[in-house]
Amino acid sequence: MKLSQIFCFGEMLWDILPDGKYPGGAPLNVAVHLGYLGHSPNMISSVGKDDLGRKLLTFVEEKGLDIGGIQINADFETGTVVANPGNRQEVAYEIRGPVAWDYIDKGAFDRKIFKGKFALVFGSLSVRSEVSRLALLSLLEHAHLKVFDVNFRPPHYTQQVVTELCSHTNILKLNHNELMEMVNWYDRYGGEKEAMRYIRDKFRLKLIVVTRGENGASVLSDAGYIEHPGFPVEVEDTIGSGDAFLATFLNGYLAEYPIESCLEQACKAGALVASHKGATPNIAQLSSNKRT
C-alpha cells in the first residue's frame, strides 16, 4: 500500500518505573518502532513547557522522528505514568492527568505536514478528554488508512467513544480480554473467532488483530482466519511489546506481505521486546543479533 506518511496520534509521556523514568506512551512507542523498521513516522501529541517535555522532544529527535506535530502546552505538564511491572507478565499503571496530551488542539495543527495519502495510528487512551478526541476526529476525516490500537485502561474509556472510533477504523488491534469486553457490550457471546467475526462485520473493518500475550495472536481478514502460537521467551517486562507487535505488523501490511508473514514477524517483535527491559529496545538490531 503506497502512502506518503504515517502519523501516530496520542499520548507521549514518561513511564516511571522503580529504577527510573523511561519515554513511553503507546503511540510514541509505535512511532519509534516504525522508525527502527525504516519508516519516518510523525508524532501528533502535546508535551508541557517543562523539563520532562524538553527531554521527550530530545528523545524523539534522537530517534530520528519529526517533532513538527508535537505541541507545547504552557498550562499543563508533561504526562507521567507510574508503571509497576509486578509479576512481569502484567503491568499495573497509574495514569496521571489532566496533562498536556489531554489537550492536543486541532486548531494548532500545521496542516503543511499532512501531505498526500497518510496512515493514522491512534488509541483509546489518547481521547479520554474531549479536546484531544475532537482533534483526532478532525484528522480521521482525511486519513487514508486508520489503525485503532485499543488500550482499555479503567476508567479512561467509554463504550460510546470506543464505538465511535471503531466506526472510523480500517484496522483494529486489541487483546483477547478487550475483544471479549467489546462483544459483551453488544450482547454477543462465544469464542474468540466468533467475536472477531462479529466486530469485523459490525464495523466493516479491513481486518482485526487480536493479541494473546505469551499465547501469540490471530488475524481475521479477507484472507480468512489466521493464528500464530507466539514465541516463548524469558519475560523481562511486557511494557511496549504490543506496540512493537503493531509497528511490525503494520510494516509488513504496508509492504503487502502475506498476512501470515505479517503476523509471524509481529509476534516475534513482541516477544523480543518482552525479553528486554523498557518499551523501545531496537527490534531491528535485536532481530539481527538473533541471526548472528
Domains belonging to the chain, first-starting first, are 25-45+108-291 (3.40.1190.20)
Q: What is the pLDDT of residues 213-231, one digit of tens each?
A: 989 999 999 999 999 999 9
Q: How high is the pLDDT of residue 176? A: 96
- Summarize pLDDT for 55-112 with one digit per residue, the tens: 999 999 999 998 999 999 999 999 999 877 655 555 677 899 999 999 999 998 887 7
180-186 long-range contacts, CB within 8 A, separation 24+ = 181/152, 182/150, 185/159
- What SS3 state is found at 135? helix
C-alpha cell read off for 75: 498550562
Residues pairing with 149 in the sheet: 123, 173
Over 50: is that where the pLDDT of 292 sits?
A: no
The pTM (predicted TM-score) of the whole model is: 0.93
| pLDDT tens profile 274-290 | 998 878 888 777 766 55
Nearest-5° angle of CA 28, CA 280, CA 206? 55
